[in-house]
Amino acid sequence: MSAAEHTVPGRVLAAAAEHDGVQVVFSSTAGTREATLGGLVTDAERVAGALRGMGIGPGHVVAVQLGSTYEGAVTQAAVTLTGAVLLPIVLIYGSHELGFILRQSGAVAVVLQAHSRGRPHAETVLAGLRERPPALRTVVVVGEGAPEGTVPFADLSGRLARPFRQARPDPDARAMLVYTSGTTSDPKGVQHSHRSLLAEVSSQVMAREPDRDLRQLALFPAGHVAGLLGLMRVLVHGTPTVVLETWDAARAAALVDEHRITYGVGAPVQLAGLLDERDRGTATLASFEEFMSGGAGVPPAVITRADAAGIPAYRTYGSSEHPTISSGAREDPLAKRADTDGRVIEGSEVRLVDEDGRDVPHGADGEIVSRGGELFLGYTDPALDREAFLPGRWFRTGDIGRFDDDGYLTITDRKKDIIIRGGENISSKEVENVLAEHAAVLDAAAVGMPDARLGERVCAVVVLAPGRTLDLEEVREHFAAAGLARQKAPERIEVVDELPRTPAGKVQKFLLRASLTPGR
């Protein structure tokens, strides 16, 4: 294998030549756009040529905050073709999160969507930045109404067009940077090399089976690591794909039948939504050969329900740092697919350790530590690496699990203080920091409230100042004013006289979680 084939741009160009006519469909409320892989990569080459003409190339970080659209796919592909570091950002992030990410990453350019959900997104987030990040020199805007001082996306294929030259970055150089919320209030920058990213794309979970007619439905948002990997399956393996811009169960189910989709991957809420449509008789889902579900705790009942509908569904486990650690398979028995997170995939290793980093006995619960070819390089803040790794570059996932006698891994708990809502990580500390800024709040804790569809929702447990009240609408307005994504705003408020704490002052969140009743 040549050196170019160990880099993302090399593999993308090779796949485009081999699978030129493979169909890629982008579906949104505005309509459907059909393209071929060859056409998409040709358009990406034009944009890449313009970016190179603007001085953007290997080593530079380019942030892309676009939806799951054709332009979004072209832009992400173009950034990889320049050899620059692709930084996808979920579209729900506002000026607060975006400003932090742009500053810490040192991004030299950002591509924004002019409008999102009927609102002027680019104008709003740019106006909300307290100051322009020092390294940022170019803002590109996709869609009508680009704010003054920005570059219209159309100009990249027009007046700014330059001949495309293939980049040849070092396979061990950074290829992707993605930010994930964890136990800290600020997102953590996860760095992947060309080699680690391609190790994931070439794994048994991602690689296209040569003798199989695989057609995938891509449901995860473009700024999410899983969304990027769905695009990589198209760009590297030439997998025919239907991309859904915004989650809509009825539309997704109709697309499965219309395009005879054989493979789906998504959060449990999405699998449940597809099954709901089948039960209503609006779709058959008959072409589905398998569905892989992850990104949040997957209820066994969802897998069992899918199996009863003739769809072999199974669970998978991973993270931005180590995209796929374990996975079930369509051939597994139902009990394994429903009640475990599968076997550790080939090329990865897992140990279960105690608080001191020592292996626990077989069958006992322990913290999952992992390593393998697709493990990330480290965080953008090197201070975070000191606690993230054990000797031997074993990554501490912060999740608790156990192995059964057949080698299947099951996630049983979380050490990380995060809330996973519909597959997206929400930092409890970030929510608590914003709550603390409200005049009515003396003390606050944020915990995950169990939810049958989304896995968890954000619940705020607060101690109020004397004589003050607080309702959900007031909290939503407070979070919107702080510039945070609306998904982070609490969806339930519990008022207490005091928070339960340890003698050292740490809030005992397990007591708060235990007190929550779903559906209230």
**Tokens of residue 42, six digits:** 């040709």
Per-residue DSSP letter, 119: B
pLDDT tens, 335-383? 999 999 999 999 999 999 998 999 999 999 899 999 999 999 999 999 9
**Tokens of residue 302, six digits:** 């969802």
CB atoms within 10 A of CB 13: 20
Q: How far apart are CA 481 and CA 477, in angstroms?
A: 6
What is the model's pLDDT at position 211? 61
Is 331 within 8 Å of 337 (Cβ atoms)?
A: no
Per-residue DSSP letter, 28: E
Exposure string over 356-386, b if 16+ CB within 10 A, otherwise e:
eeeeeeeeeebbbbbbbebbbbbbbeeebee
Phi, psi (deg, nearest 5) at residue 189: -85, 115
Domains annotated on the chain, with CATH: 11-246 (3.40.50.12780), 290-414 (2.30.38.10), 418-515 (3.30.300.30)
What is the model's pLDDT at position 130? 81
Pairing of strands 418-421, 424-427: antiparallel
Give 268's Cβ-side CA count (13 Å radius): 25
Q: How far apart are CA 279 and CA 304, in angstroms?
A: 15
What is the model's pLDDT at position 204? 82
* Strand order across the beta sheet in which 455-464 lies: 441-451, 455-464, 492-495
E strand spans, 341-436: 343-344, 348-353, 366-372, 378-379, 389-390, 394-403, 409-414, 418-421, 424-427
Q: How far apart are CA 346 and CA 326, in angstroms?
A: 9
Residues in the chain: 520
What is the model's pLDDT at position 11? 95
Instruction: Give average pLDDT by consecutive 10-residue segment, the chain, 520 residues.
Output: 76 95 91 95 97 96 96 97 96 90 97 91 91 94 92 93 92 95 70 96 79 86 88 92 93 96 91 95 96 81 94 95 96 96 96 94 94 96 94 94 95 79 82 88 89 89 92 93 89 92 70 71
